[in-house]
A and B are shown apart, each in its own frame.
Chain A
Amino acid sequence: MSRPIVEARGLVKFFPMRAGPVTALNDVSLRVEAGDYVAIAGPSGCGKSTLLHLLGCVETPTAGSLYFDGRDVAALPDSERSRLRLLGIGFVFQRFFLLPMLTAWENVELPQAEAGVAARPRRRRTAELLDYVGLSARAQHRPAQLSGGEMQRVAIARALANRPRLLLADEPTGELDAATGEQIADLLDRVNADGNSLVVVTHNAGLAARATRRITMRDGRLAEAATGVIR
């Protein structure tokens, strides 16, 4: 059995509130293998995004452990976790979070530049990714000059820039109309088909249905696995 890209064991997450701590995740265990396409669904407030944030190493669990490529994330200093996110994880956000002062090209170049990729391979990779998401012609446009679907395509290209081991998408179609959402879902299918591992948090049943593994969450727990076991 190959080593999972990410493995969560008994993850617990409390958020301290004035009225007492709120349990966002309760004893969640999950493995994501290379090539997986995992969709996490569930009602609002069930802990989907919290789980995604923990898998993406932007949040630390109250209890439990998380391993990324076999490394205990909790043992990593902040700078190492940043490096892990930069090189190992690609993030796609509901609200895109492209940098408004940069062009589509520059937004895709940004994580590569941060990772120290030399100019020539960086340009080649950026051109390749913008072509991949069908936005070569819009490379010099700023986010404000792009539609929502185009911005999300740029965000996906940015997430893939450093060839991450895992792509995490938080409601990637949440801000888009149905038709545009379908296009993004198609693109994510292609990303997975090209060998990338994906974890998608979504309310969109159509998007969730495209995943090879569908997980439903309820009250901070994994409720069921629609396809196969919860690995």
Chain B
Amino acid sequence: MRAFAFAWRSLARQPARTVLALLGIAAVGALLFDMLLLSRGLVVSFSELLEETGFDVRVTATDSMPVTGPMILDAAAAARALEGLPEVEQASPLRVARAEARVEGGEPIELTLMGLGSNSRDLWTVVAGAPLPSETGWVVINDRLARELAVAPGDTLSLWDAGAPGSVATPAIDLRVAGIAEFAFDTRLERTAAVRLSDLSAVCALERAVAADVLLVASAAGSGPEQTVEAIRRLRPDLHAFSNVQLVNRFRAHDFSYFRQISVVLTTVTLSFAFLLITSLLTVSVNQRFAEVAALRAIGFSRARVVADLFCQSVLLVGGGGLVAIPLGAALAVWLDGILKSMAHIPVNLHFFVFQPRALVLHVALLGLVGMLAALYPIYLAARLPIAATLRNEVVS
């Protein structure tokens, strides 16, 4: 009988204990899997959201994060200059402002207003109506705003600058709703609208109609984002260009590092639990089978064979528990993700737990390693078992 078959029969001999052991390992394994998903989930999700926009390079006035620092004052000229680079397919200025909107007879509602260059590709996905036309006089709004204003594509709404308290009110301008869209970075409570940059300048009565918070750049085919970043830096050393990867890395180093640290700590704790659980189970099993192990050794089973038997038991327990852990962990991840995403200021499309093949490989490798380490002590006990003394003690007891 091969070691695996023998180990299987040993485990099947006490089905209740084996099932409990498998469930214990599955529970610990599920937590481990979730921690691995969490450790990079935000980064991966954030990266996917950035990629979804179709722009792979972002250019700002300073090295602060986009939309949080000073504006690029000559955005239109800068965009034109960047589009002259062979590495750049498109450069589009983006400006974000606070505004208010109202339909006739309705209450004003505050919203985030995005202004995009007229040639820009969309930063959103239209779910009803039409895309934002390149000419002025149109607006695309998100579903929440559409519901609250009770407007549909084709309706007209008035927009004006929300302004700072005490600022001079600007006249409202009327825009027609082209479509309802999903914005990648919208939070659950966000009300968002997008217009052409010149409409945003009109709404907000901007003196510097050419300024933008960020220039969104799409690399030309055959040119990677890193090459594009280098070309932009050479052309405009006064501006700060980041590829999506560089931006994500900055987030990872600062804003997302908490999740990574929490994940590392919880992963370590989870692995320690797994180690203790498996060691305890196998040690109890070996202790209960001392006489049996001694008898096997007496009838000629080698030390290596006894070790192989225990090792296979560990592999079966960890393998079985680890397999159950994956769907269990996935279900748990969906549930936890839902809880975390219910926080008000988290973008709806941002996920904390994101599946990646790397997480699965790590899960298998870490559980396998823990299974091997956990089997060491019981294996040591069984391998060093004094055969005659154990048989003698068994008869005496």
Co-complex (A, B): yes
Asked if B16 is at the interface of the complex by the 8 Å CB criterion, the answer is no
Q: Give B297 Cβ to nearest chain A Cβ, in Å.
A: 7
B301 lies within 8 A of chain A by Cβ: yes
B357 within 8 A of A: no
Q: Is B332 an interface residue (CB 8 A)?
A: no
- A213 neighbours in B (Cβ, 8 Å): none
Residues in B whose Cβ lies below 8 Å from that of A56: 298
A66-91 interface code vs B (CB 8 A; 1 in, 0 out): 00000000000011001111110111
Given contacts A101-B13, A114-B305, contact A58 B300 (CB under 8 A): no
Min Cβ gap A101→B in Å is 4
Q: Is A94 an interface residue (CB 8 A)?
A: yes
Closest to A106 in B: B1
Residue B12 CB within 8 A of the other chain: yes
In the complex, per-residue mask of B113-132: 1 if CB is within 8 Å of any chain A CB, else 0: 00000000000000000000
Q: In the bound complex, do residue B298 and residue A101 qualify as a contact, i.e. CB atoms below 8 Å apart?
A: no
Q: Give the bracket for the number of chain B residues in contact with chain A.
A: 20 to 34
Known: A86-B300, A97-B295. A113 touches B9 (CB 8 A): no
B264 close to A (CB within 8 Å): no
Instruction: Find the B residue at minimum CB distance from A54.
Output: B388
Residue A102 CB within 8 A of the other chain: yes
> Which residues of the other chain, A, contact B298 by a CB distance below 8 angstroms?
56, 58, 85, 91, 93, 97
Taking CB atoms, residues of chain B closer than 8 Å to A93 are 295, 298, 391
| B299/A109 in contact, CB under 8 A | no
A-B contact count (CB 8 A): 80
- Which residue of B has the minimal Cβ distance to A58? B387
Given contacts A50-B388, A97-B295, A101-B12, contact A83 B300 (CB under 8 A): yes
Query: 18 new A-B pairs (CB below 8 Å) besides A49-B392, A85-B300?
Result: A58-B388, A58-B391, A79-B303, A82-B301, A82-B303, A83-B300, A84-B300, A85-B299, A86-B301, A99-B292, A100-B13, A101-B13, A102-B9, A106-B1, A110-B1, A159-B299, A170-B395, A171-B395
Chain B residues within 8 Å of A, Cβ to Cβ: 1, 9-10, 12-13, 291-292, 295-305, 387-388, 391-392, 394-395
5 shortest A-B CB distances, which residue pairs? A86-B300, A97-B295, A101-B13, A53-B388, A59-B388
A positions within 8 Å CB-CB of B? 49-50, 53, 56, 58-59, 78-79, 82-87, 89-91, 93-95, 97, 99-102, 106, 109-111, 113-115, 158-159, 162, 170-171, 174
